[in-house]
Amino acid sequence: MDRRGQSRRNFLKCSAAALAAGAGFTAPATALSHPHPLRKLADERNLRIGPAVAYNPLVNERSYYHTVRHEFNILTPENAMKWAGTHPQQNQYTFTQADAIFNFGVAHGLAIHGHNLCWQSANPSWLTNGHFSRDQLITILQDHINTVAGRYSGSIAAWDVVNEALNGSGNLASGVWHDGLGTDYVALAFQFAREADPNALLVYNDYSIETVNAKSNGLYNMVQDFQQNGIPIDGVGFQMHIDINGINYASFAQNLQRFADLGLALFISEMDVRMPLPATDAKLAAQANVYANILAAVLNQPACYAFQTWGFTDKYSWIPGSYPGYGAALIFDENYNPKPAYDALAAELMTG
């Protein structure tokens, strides 16, 4: 058997531990051997760039594995660190998938952005159907954050401590934590996270907060309130799930600036740029422009810590399932070939 055949066999049977160690297989030629990977260009700009990573393709597809390893210097586990992924029963935690992604990232020098410690979605049914009292929920939240954030303490760059807590008016939305524990659940989660990992950047992460609007105003007030009351918060994640019409870039830059002025680290945490299918050259060009415009604003704002996308290949993206009729939202196509959006990001990193 030739070397490539051997290495493919090794890959297919490799364990999570071997995965993290690199498993000794060689990178395929072609699209995965760009002379200037985004990772290198971003390192030179002191920026972290990278995707959400899913467990199954990471373990099963060498093109997926090699693209992440070669192109990016930060990753976020897409689902593996959510409550439903780590805490299937009240007294049972499972870390197989979370550890595999974490170990892969650490082994290859990628920073890890944990996602997430408290959300009203992706929760196990024992939690959502438990009818727990306020005191019970406080204990449950603290135990979870201690166990999950504590496990990776010292080795994780940032945690999305609370995800999507606000509604469109900038007030706390209803959900298992708000309704069962009370309005101080956000502050408690941040306090528990600081105790569990004193070094990670503690981030509030949400969508539709990219520009100055009612929701980002509500967040701005919440952060100020936390700071005045000694609640630890270090960053904001602007998810950036947008489409090829883009956003108001002036308002975006102004919004970044006001959060930067609060002393926060800023993350573009989940960017994708969906388009109505089918993709055309014109739509792909418009998409490339949107990616470049957002990255340009990030490079202009020293408080920006990371530029992150929600996946990287159109082969694996949440968009077609969640926005019927839309897709092609990421920077590599379904065959792991770079799209115009990839080239636009590379050009922006080189010259922007």
The token pair at 334 is 């379904």
Give the nearest distance from C-beta 319 to ligand XIL in angstroms.
9
Q: Which residue, 126 or 318, is less far from ligand XIL as judged by CB?
A: 318
Which 234-253 positions form the footprint of ligand XIL (CB under 6 A)? 239
Least separation in angstroms between CB 183 and ligand XIL: 21
Looking only at the bridges linking them, the beta strands covering 241-243 and 326-327 are unpaired
- CA 1 vs. chain centroid, Å, equals 40
Q: Of 110 and 240, which has the nearer Cβ to ligand XIL?
A: 240
Sign of CA dihedral 324, 327, 330, 333: positive
Residues 55, 58, 64, 69, CA torsion sign: positive
Number of residues assigned to the chain:
352
Which residue's CB is nearer to ligand XIL, number 318 or number 326? 318
Q: Which is nearer to ligand XIL, 7 or 67 (CB)?
A: 67
Active site residues: 164, 270
Question: Closest CB to ligand XIL among 139 and 174?
Answer: 174
Q: How far is CA 178 from the centre of its chain?
A: 23
Task: Please give the residues from 169 up to 198 whose contact with ligand XIL meets the rule CB under 6 A.
Answer: none
Cβ of residue 317: shortest distance to ligand XIL, in angstroms? 8
* Identity of the residue, 138 or 242, whose beta carbon is nearer to ligand XIL in the bound complex: 242
**Which residue's CB is nearer to ligand XIL, number 7 or number 205?**
205
- The yes or no reply on residue 163 touching ligand XIL (CB under 6 A) is yes
Q: Identify the residue among 40, 45, 79, 167 touching ligand XIL (CB under 6 A).
A: 79
Closest approach, Cβ 221 to ligand XIL, in A, equals: 22
Residue 271 CB, shortest distance to ligand XIL, in Å, is 11
Where do the H-state alpha helices sit in the chain?
Answer: 3-13, 16-21, 38-44, 55-60, 62-71, 83-86, 96-107, 125-128, 134-151, 176-180, 185-196, 214-228, 249-260, 281-299, 319-322, 340-351
Cis before 116 (ω within 30)? yes
Q: Figure out which of the listed residues 78, 197, 243, 333 binds ligand XIL, where binding follows CB under 6 A.
A: 78
Per-residue x/- marks for ligand XIL, 105-144, CB under 6 A?
Answer: ----------------------------------------
Minimum distance, C-beta of residue 316 to ligand XIL, in the bound complex (Å)? 9
Burial label, 12 (beta-carbon count in 10 A; 0-12, 13-18, 19+): exposed
**Count of residues touching ligand XIL (by CB under 6 A):** 6
Query: Coil, strand or helix: which one is 305?
Result: strand
Q: How far apart are CA 81 and CA 100, in angstroms?
A: 11
Going by their DSSP bridges, the two strands 265-276 and 235-238 should be labelled as parallel
Q: How far is the CB of 97 from ligand XIL (least distance, A)?
A: 13
Residues 331-350 that bind ligand XIL (CB under 6 A): none
Alpha-carbon torsion, ordered 85, 89, 91, 94, to 10 deg: -30
**Residue 85, CA distances (Å) to 13, 43, 274 in order:** 23, 31, 26
3-state secondary structure of 287: helix
For the segment 267-286, give every residue that binds ligand XIL (CB under 6 A).
270
What angle in degrees, to the nearest 10, is found between the helix axes of 249-260 and 214-228?
Answer: 10
Residue nearest to ligand XIL (CB): 318
Residues making contact with ligand XIL (CB under 6 A): 78-79, 163, 239, 270, 318
